[in-house]
Amino acid sequence: MVCAACEVSNSKADAARGLAKYPPWLPPRPCCHCSRPVFRDREHESTTYFVCGVVCRQAIHNANYRYGHPRLRVERQCGSCGNAFKPKRKDAKFCSVACKQRTYRRMRAVKNLVSF
């Protein structure tokens, strides 16, 4: 950033040397992912969303893919209480942490009885 007087004198000096002045910066726009202000010197019309970098672009791409390809959730029975539940992971066996812990304690108690 320069003051107005320096900008005028620099632009006159650049014009005298035959150099074109750089185009003015556009007003900042927020990144579609992280909302950080991004400054550009020209408008990019080919992009559907405005991002600040590669990481934000990948995050938006991944979110759009997950939106268009939802996971199939098949109901299963809990290995501890027998209630039906929809797992958040494909390898889930229990409906909650409490059921998982209950099964672990039962198995540990059986192993302690057998080892004596």
- For the chain, domain boundaries: 25-70, 77-115
Q: How many CB atoms lie within 10 A of CB 94?
A: 21
β-pair partners for 38: 29
Residue 81's pLDDT is 94
pLDDT tens by residue, 25-64? 788 889 989 999 988 877 776 677 888 889 999 999 999 9
With beta carbons less than 8 A apart as the criterion, state whether 71 and 91 touch: no
Nearest to 86 by CA among 71, 70, 97, 75: 75
Burial class (CB in 10 A: 0-12, 13-18, 19+), 102: middle
Nearest to 22 by CA among 5, 44, 7: 7
pLDDT tens by residue, 86-116? 998 889 999 999 999 999 999 999 888 886 6
Residue 28's pLDDT is 85
The model carries a pTM of: 0.46
Residue 9's pLDDT is 60
Residue 89's pLDDT is 87
Measure the CA–CA gap between 60 and 57, rounded to whole angstroms: 5
